[in-house]
Structure 1
Amino acid sequence: MLHEVMPTPTKNEWERIEREFWDQWQFPSCLGSLDGKHVVIEAPQNSGSLYFNYKKTFSIVLLALVDANYKFIAVDIGSYGRSSDGGIFSTSKLGRRLEMGTLDIPEDALLPGTQQLAPYVIVGDPAFPLKKYLMRPFPGLQVENRIERRIFNYRLSRTRRVVENAFGILTQKFRIYNRRLKLAPKYAEKVVLATCILHNFIRAGTAATPLNDDQIMAGNLTDLSRQGGNCSTVAFEIREIFTRFFNSEQGFVPWQHNMI
């Protein structure tokens, strides 16, 4: 069932995902919203501090890439809870395949209504490193008196909330997330994967419900802490390309200045 409800996208499917993000969330060239959460488990026997996280609980990590309709495109489950400060994304199967360019992602495309080429990207919060294929917000000191960057942050944040809402739907549907999983890690991983598969099965053919800009569905999962990673000059320039687009006639949305 995994490959039926969570198949690795083909090039045509990536393009469909991108169109839905543009149509529904007004972020072009976007292939997914990324986030990771701690799933609390019982302290495993003889594990020392491997699963002990910054919230002082024991956990495994659920890393997920979500499409515009709150469905999981890919999940990576089972990283040690204590790994949250390191490179969970970079060492995940998804992160490695993005870095190596083996996901059959389409070539760079023109941003809507422009002659500006841009790569396809995924969006994440400040916990993730800025990459040429992964956009995150400008940090606080870089947005002071820079309205155009605040608009970029708003547009990215609005799109990134898709994964937060997917996690919220998951925890509301499957009440096991409201308590500590009393399972060994290898069995907890199977349970978490099963809920993600069932989530996609239930949502098959369901479009995302439009949300108010301040609405994020509550979930009972814990955020990751900030991850390390060096940012390349190319990644900075790509973020500036999107910033210019969101502040252009072709890329702005009428309400964005009211939201910053």
Structure 2
Amino acid sequence: MNCFGEKDALLAAAACVIIFEESERKSRKRRFWVRHSLQARSIYSGTHLLEDLKKDDCAPLNWGLEYKGSFKNFCRMSSSDFEHLINLIGPKIQKSDTRFRDAVPVVERLAITLRFLATGDSYQSLMYLFKVSKQLISLIVPEVCDALIECLQENVKLPTTAEEWQGIATDFYRQWNFPNCLGSMDGKHVMLQAPFGSGTEYFNYKGFFSIVLFGVVDANYCFIFVNAGCQGRISDGGVFANTTLKSLIAKNDLNLPEASPLPGRSNPVPYAFIGDDAFTLQPHLLKPYAGLHDRGSGERIFNYRISRARRIVENAFGIISSVFRVLRKPMLIEPNKATKVVLACVHLHNFLKRSSTSKNIYTPPGTFDTEDFESGTMISGQWRVDQTNMTSLFPLRKVPRKASASAYEIRDEFRDFFLTSQGKVAWQDKY
């Protein structure tokens, strides 16, 4: 037999094997398309669950307050905002029915994702609640998070004009007595389960795996810039250096207002962001003085005033982890999907904070830190009580770094301003 005959014989044998295996596969009867415990979805699905929760909210007043707020507690928002989100993301996440099974409706897809963000429950736990397989839930959650980020992106954006930046600075001065402030920035490590095959890429200085969430917050607790997904092993200085915000500042592309004197002063100083010791002192980034200082000294008073204004970003991070409790636990998902989850939480934070129907649900009275204006004593917000030892948000490492001479001079100008009669607050002398 020549070589061509051998090849033909091998091809014929291979074809026979393939035909036999295909006939065997077709003859095997599939055990079931959907496991028995999930087949009840047609009888009682997530849609039915949400309708029942809405009925609780409509219960007569004489039934008691314990019947009220079921839907709001389950989804972390009002039913009207829930419907609004459905209209926004519905076309992006809607699926078509097939001959074999009906697609999971948009309402249930959003409810599954919001419940995951609200509780951090495993996909297996959500499977039993919504009668949807954990494999499908693992596809639904990232897809819905992507849709939320895309549709709510206008809620998290940097100002584009000097007038908009000036509005933020005015709010900071009016509410927190800190002039020429463009925002409060901070970064947090978000704990992950060890990503498969990642080595030490996500292993941080605290000894666990994480991604970094970096954010800038305005005077009203809303994020104006956010960056998530940076590997936990990257140095803390590198976190800010790798953001587009740092690049825009360096290129002078933010359209910031022109430098202006502080109230009652004559030396022009640039508008600046405020941060903690994890960042490098720069002309457009203020941080506290290092070390301990005597009571009543200018350095100590400056540290008090900048810490007082920086509480804005601490409150924002605390509220997010208090409401969206997926941030309270190590995420059992891949880093790229964890990044989507974190960004979805931030976008929902701004959306709910600005909503007329969900604002009081999301941040009821007593949520934020407040002050006794006679003594200056801080009254802790409810989020601090709720999340004691129950959060996976950890601060960046505080590392001293050398700054330019001009940055030191700018900080000293703020220090001297806070000692003047126009710049001081009544109770700061005790610090």
Please classify the TM superposition score into its range, dividing by the shorter chain length. Answer: over 0.9
Corresponding residue number in structure 2 for 1:160: 310
Letter paired with 1:236: Y
Q: 2:342 pairs with 186, 192, 195, which one?
A: 192
| Aligned: 1:133 with 2:284 | yes
Give 1:233 deviation, angstroms.
0.1
1:71, 1:166 within 8 Å by CA — same for their partners in 2?
yes
| RMSD, aligned α-carbons | 2.0
- Local SS of the residue matching 1:87: helix
- Local SS of the residue matching 1:8: coil
For 1:8-27, what aligned pairs fall within 5 Å after superposition? 8-10=158-160, 11-27=162-178
Q: What CA deviation, in whole Å up to 9, does each residue of 1:8-36 have, x standing for no partner?
A: 20222111100000000000000001100
Q: Normalized per residue, which structure has more helix?
A: 2
Corresponding residue number in structure 1 for 2:421: 249
Give 1:114 deviation, angstroms.
3.0
Q: 1:74 pairs with 225, 232, 236, which one?
A: 225
| Aligned: 1:181 with 2:331 | yes
Q: Distance in 1 between matches of 2:427 and 2:410?
A: 24
Q: Distance in 1 between matches of 2:399 and 2:224?
A: 22
- Local SS of the residue matching 1:44: coil
1:84, 1:227 within 8 Å by CA — same for their partners in 2?
no
For 1:37-48, what aligned pairs fall within 5 Å after superposition? 37-48=188-199
Larger Rg: 2
2:288, 2:302 within 8 Å by CA — same for their partners in 1?
yes
Q: Distance in 1 between matches of 2:331 and 2:270?
A: 40
Q: Distance in 2 between matches of 1:86 and 1:48?
A: 22
Percent same amino acid among aligned pairs?
A: 44
| Aligned: 1:112 with 2:284 | no
Corresponding residue number in structure 1 for 2:370: 211
TM-score by length of structure 1 reads: 0.93
Corresponding residue number in structure 2 for 1:122: 273
Residue ranges of structure 1 left out of the alignment (5+ in a row): none
- Local SS of the residue matching 1:164: helix
Letter paired with 1:224: L
Q: What CA deviation, in whole Å up to 9, does each residue of 1:100-136 have, x standing for no partner?
A: 2211111112212333321101111111110111100
Give 1:3 deviation, angstroms.
3.2
Which of structure 1's runs of 4+ aligned residues deviate more than 6 A? Answer: 205-208
Q: Normalized per residue, which structure has more strand?
A: 1
Instruction: Considering Cα pairs closer than 8 Å and 6+ residues apart, tell me whether 1 or 2 has the greater RCO.
Output: 1
Corresponding residue number in structure 2 for 1:89: 240
- Identify which range, 78-87 or 186-195, moves more after superposition: 78-87
2:315, 2:368 within 8 Å by CA — same for their partners in 1?
no
Give 1:4 deviation, angstroms.
1.5
TM-score by length of structure 2 reads: 0.57
Corresponding residue number in structure 1 for 2:206: 55
- Identify which range, 99-108 or 73-82, moves more after superposition: 99-108
Residue ranges of structure 2 left out of the alignment (5+ in a row): 1-150, 372-376
Q: Distance in 2 between matches of 1:34 and 1:181?
A: 24
Letter paired with 2:316: A
| Aligned: 1:103 with 2:275 | no
